[in-house]
Amino acid sequence: MEFQQLRYVIALAEEASFTRAAARCHVVQSALSHQIKALENELGVALFARTSRRVELTSAGQAFLPAARASLEAAERAADDAAAASGLVRGRLSIGVIPTVTAIDLPAALRTFRQAHPQVKIVLRVAGSDELETAVTGGELDIAVLGLAAGRKPQAVAWRNLGTDRLVAVVSRDHPLAGRKRVSLEDLSGETFTDFPSGTPGRAQSDLAFTAAGIHREVAFEALATDLMIGLVREGLAITLLPSRYVPADPALATIKITDGPTRTEYLAWNALNPSPAAQAFITTAE
């Protein structure tokens, strides 16, 4: 059994098309089909059911696929480790980031990393801290930048504190509070808010602060996209709380310090069990 055959099987299973699988593997369709058929003959089972219109995994193929993925990943990791031992970092690096990352200049860090390790393929994913933390723990991501409320540290991952920032109120330029330099949470109690979805770490920062102060607030608009939240503020539909270093310079917006407002700490998190050479190199770059 050859590792190239495993690549072909995985590609065909995921693409469900000989044409797309061959294009993904950069081979002609006949070569891919021949190699998969040779593997099936070697195993003595059919991995795929083929018709003139579709191709899909058989029950044997479904049983074969998880181990095939694991074997291929192990082989690729072994090759990456061997290359790293001779000073060459290569392979794949997956990085997750929150939408409001500010504690690290990620594009600049990636430029430095890319210049030092041009053979590493980098995949970026933007999501909430809870989703990213789970993805790092489960091995779906190598590294993530998380943003968590005060007192909440990353769990089941290795991490480094990147810095803490206080949230500010963001209002439209013509809002009655726009001329204020400072406000309290009580001053904001009667406002309509836009914020991240309830239950997410991005939302928890503000919810915890208002709850601790015994103040109820109305969140009328929930969104994961910060540009949408800022657009709602710009139109005067709501106000929001965001990290001070994140708020864009916009003449249509005003930012106000909150005397008793919440804070947000950013962390660089990674799976400490067995980080890849590429992950280790990026952690060093981020320092």
Q: Over 90: is that where the pLDDT of 91 sits?
A: no
Contact 202, 208 (CB under 8 A): no
Q: What is the pLDDT of residue 287?
A: 80
Which has more pLDDT, 70 or 219? 219
Q: Please, which residues have CB within 8 angstroms of residue 162's CB and are 6 or more apart in sequence?
A: 103, 104, 145, 265, 266, 267, 268
167, pLDDT greater than 90: yes
Of 32, 62, 85, the last residue of a domain is 85
Give pLDDT, residue 267: 96
Residue 101 is predicted with a pLDDT of 92
Of 50-59, 75-84, 207-216, 258-267, which gets the smallest average pLDDT? 75-84
- pTM, full prediction: 0.70
pLDDT of the residue at 81: 67
Q: Please indicate, yes or no, whether residues 10 and 80 belong to a single structural domain of this protein.
A: yes
Condensed to tens digits (0 to 9), the pLDDT of residues 240-254 reads 999 999 998 899 999
Task: Report the distance separating Cα 46 and Cα 61, nearest Å.
Answer: 7
**Helix 3-15 and helix 18-25, axial crossing angle in degrees, nearest 10:** 130
CA dist list (Å): 13 to 16, 17, 26, 30, 91: 5, 8, 16, 17, 22
**Domain shared by 238 and 174, yes or no:** yes
SS3 200: coil
Q: Can you give the pLDDT at residue 150?
A: 83
Torsion angles phi and psi, residue 153, rounded to 5: -105, 160
pLDDT for 79: 66
CB 159 within 8 A of CB 269: yes
Tell me how many domains the chain contains.
Answer: 3
**Each residue's pLDDT tens digit, 97-109:** 999 999 999 999 9
Please state which of the ranges 66-70, 135-139, 257-261, 280-284 shows the lowest mean pLDDT. 66-70
Q: Which amino acid is at 216?
A: H
Which CATH number does the domain housing residue 247 bear? 3.40.190.10
Q: Does one domain contain both 59 and 33?
A: yes
In this structure, the answer to whether residues 275 and 148 fall within a common structural domain is yes
State residue 73's pLDDT score.
75
Tell me the CATH number at 70: 1.10.10.10
Query: Closest Cα to residue 159, out of 139, 145, 173, 172?
Result: 145
Range of the domain at 238: 163-265
Supply angle C-alpha 160, 161, 163, rounded to 5. 150
Based on the number of CB atoms within 10 Å of its own CB, is 24 exposed (0-12), middle (13-18) or buried (19 or more)? middle
Residue 110, judged by CB atoms within 10 A of its CB (0-12, 13-18, 19+), counts as middle
Q: What is the mean pLDDT of residues 51-70?
A: 85
